[in-house]
Amino acid sequence: MASDPNAARVTSTDDGRKKEQRARWGLTRAMIANMVKGVTEGFTTNLRLVGVGYRAAQEPNENGGQRLRMKLGFSHDVVVDIPEGITAEIVRPTEITLRGAHKDRIGQFAADIKKWRKPEPYNGKGIFINDETIKLKQVKR
């Protein structure tokens, strides 16, 4: 029987002297704690749209789910489908609240939305996650 070099190797976690093993213990503990918190309380992430004319609206999509339609200063609207397991709530036209049980999925979805308009340091415009701030730079003259 030939062994597959791409197959994941299972190693013992009995040796607490190995740094890699201790790191795996911590990762496993954190992942289980996040799963428990996700099921019991859930996770929340807030997005702020900062800029003149930046706004968001929620609408149904053709698959029966929901999607976000955002005006971000482009000549077209940015439309993003909301993944399963995540609920989005438009608190104000410039504030979106994402809720769900999976911390990593919420964070990835927030990062995907943020990619459309990253915060820029000269005018302070962009999409900010939670209480994120940026230091404004002086205009070069």
Task: Tell me the pLDDT tens digit for each residue of 21-36.
Answer: 888 888 999 999 999 9
Strands 95-100 and 126-129 turn out to be unpaired
Task: Tell me the pLDDT tens digit for each residue of 40-75.
Answer: 999 999 999 999 999 999 999 888 889 999 999 999
**CA–CA separation, 96 and 12 (whole Å):** 44
- Give me the amino acid identity at 1: M
E strand or H helix at 52, and its extent? none
**CA–CA separation, 71 and 56 (whole Å):** 6
43-129 CATH pick, 1.10.3720.10, 3.30.565.10, 3.30.470.20, 3.90.930.12: 3.90.930.12
Domain ranges for the chain, please list them: 43-129
Give 57-68 as a DSSP string.
Answer: EEEE-TTSSEEE
pLDDT at 139: 83
Task: Tell me the pLDDT tens digit for each residue of 7-25.
Answer: 666 555 567 778 888 888 8
Task: Tell me the pLDDT tens digit for each residue of 94-114.
Answer: 999 999 999 999 999 999 999
Radius of gyration of the chain (CA): 21
H and E: helices and strands count for the chain: 2, 7
This model's pTM is above 0.75: yes
Of 115, 114, 84, 113, the C-alpha closest to 101 is 84
